[in-house]
Amino acid sequence: MLFADAYAWVEYFRGTEKGKRAAALIDDPKKDILTLESTLSEVKCWALRERKPFEELYLAVRRNSRIIHPALEDWLRAAELRFEIRRSVQDFGLMDALLLAAAERTGSTVLTGDPHFRKLAGAIFIG
């Protein structure tokens, strides 16, 4: 299973080289793609900023992945992960930690191009 983060989705929608690498996995019917519901808010922020039709993007995310609601244990683990990772990645955010916690709980890998994940285990880096 792969958790697609906002970075991967935005590149996917933009059709960039990174997006094509993401699409090769997201569009593969043999892959189980997951999207954390908080990722949708990050995608919507991008859509608003870039004046993109969020409803169309949302439908594409729903069509190509399963939307997952974070569990309480994910939020609590995210606090721990953020604290630990910030020792080496200064501005590692809580949403990144939440995604990592959900991936950890479900035995998934994070699909991303976000530089915060570059050196972390458990990520497929498209960048």
Q: Give the domain extent around 58.
A: 2-125
In angstroms, what CA-CA distances link 101 with 48, 65, 76, 77, 119?
27, 18, 9, 6, 16
Which of these, 106, 98, 104, 113, lies nearest to 121 by C-alpha position? 104
Could you read off the pLDDT of 17-68 as tens digits, one per residue?
A: 999 999 999 999 999 999 999 999 999 999 999 999 999 999 999 999 999 9
The CATH number that applies at residue 85 is 3.40.50.1010
Could you read off the pLDDT of 117-126 as tens digits, one per residue?
A: 988 888 999 9
Whether the CA torsion 73, 69, 114, 94 is positive or negative: it is negative
Rounded to two decimals, the pTM is 0.94
> How many folded domains does the chain comprise?
1
CB atoms within 10 A of CB 101: 24
CA atoms within 13 A on the CB side of 90: 0
Kindly tell me if the per-residue pLDDT of 77 is higher than 90. Answer: yes
User: Quick one: pLDDT band at residue 76, thresholds 50, 70, 90?
Assistant: very high
